[in-house]
């Protein structure tokens, strides 16, 4: 039986050939993707599909008998379930048409099962851990940004204080120079007035000489 014949075999049960083809494609795609990802697909009463790793080994070429090294590889493996084995071996009879040939899935298996629940729990834990890491990174970035802003603010304040101090010193120096300039002319004026006393003394001597002659 090939794929087309399989689709024809289940077409009447699923409501048409197109629905049957879609169903077969969906089932096979899900199995292949799961096995490639390293998961084990188990169907109760039918069997399980899984990925098996084969180590590097030596094999013999059947045509030449030459010994050949085979690289490490991974292969899919199917293990038939006990119910499937019993039906094939003939220890159990196949039910008449229209009935399920393998055992029905136990209660709870279709809603997830232990393996699925564990996988979901692991995914949820990984998501929470990733969220925590993201939050921690954001907090560290915020702290660094705040610290950088504080340092920049301190530097700016220090520069402003230094500039203000320089301006104050410059103003004081200018004031001192102005006072010194004003004081210097006053001293020169006082120095110029001093010779007037000598002239007065000369006039007094002249008066005394005139008095003696008389």
Residue 109 reports pLDDT greater than 90: no
Contact yes or no for 48/79 (Cβ under 8 A): yes
- What confidence tens digit (pLDDT) does each residue in 62-89 have? 999 999 999 999 999 999 999 999 999 9
CATH of domain 3-114: 4.10.520.10
84 near 47, Cβ under 8 Å? yes
Of the pLDDT bands very low, low, confident and very high (cuts 50, 70, 90), residue 115 is: very low
Q: How far is the C-alpha of 77 from the C-alpha of 35, rounded, in Å? A: 9
| Alpha helices by DSSP H, the chain | 3-14, 17-36, 82-89, 113-193, 195-213
Q: What is the mean pLDDT of residues 140-155?
A: 72
Spans of all domains in the chain: 3-114
**Is pLDDT at 144 greater than 90 in this prediction?**
no
DSSP H helices in 15-112: 17-36, 82-89
Per-residue pLDDT for 6 more than 70? yes
């Amino acid at each position: 039986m090939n794929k087309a014949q399989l689709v024809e075999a289940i077409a009447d049960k699923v409501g048409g050939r197109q629905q049957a083809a879609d169903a077969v494609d969906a089932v096979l795609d899900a199995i292949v993707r799961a096995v490639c990802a390293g998961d084990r697909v188990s169907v109760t009463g039918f069997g399980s599909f899984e990925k098996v790793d084969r180590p590097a080994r030596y094999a013999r070429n059947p045509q030449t008998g030459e010994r050949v090294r085979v690289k490490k590889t991974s292969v899919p493996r199917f293990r038939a379930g006990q119910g499937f084995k019993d039906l094939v071996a003939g220890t159990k009879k196949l039910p008449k048409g229209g009935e399920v040939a393998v055992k029905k899935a136990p209660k709870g298996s279709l809603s997830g099962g232990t393996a699925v629940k564990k996988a979901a729990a692991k995914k949820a834990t990984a998501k929470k851990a990733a969220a925590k890491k993201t939050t921690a990174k954001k907090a560290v970035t915020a702290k660094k940004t705040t610290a950088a802003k504080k340092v920049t603010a301190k530097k700016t304040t220090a520069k402003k204080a230094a500039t203000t101090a320089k301006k104050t010193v410059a103003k004081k120096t200018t004031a001192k120079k102005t006072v010194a300039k004003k004081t210097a002319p006053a001293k020169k004026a006082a120095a110029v007035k001093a010779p007037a006393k000598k002239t007065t003394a000369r006039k007094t001597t002249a008066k005394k000489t005139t008095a003696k002659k008389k």
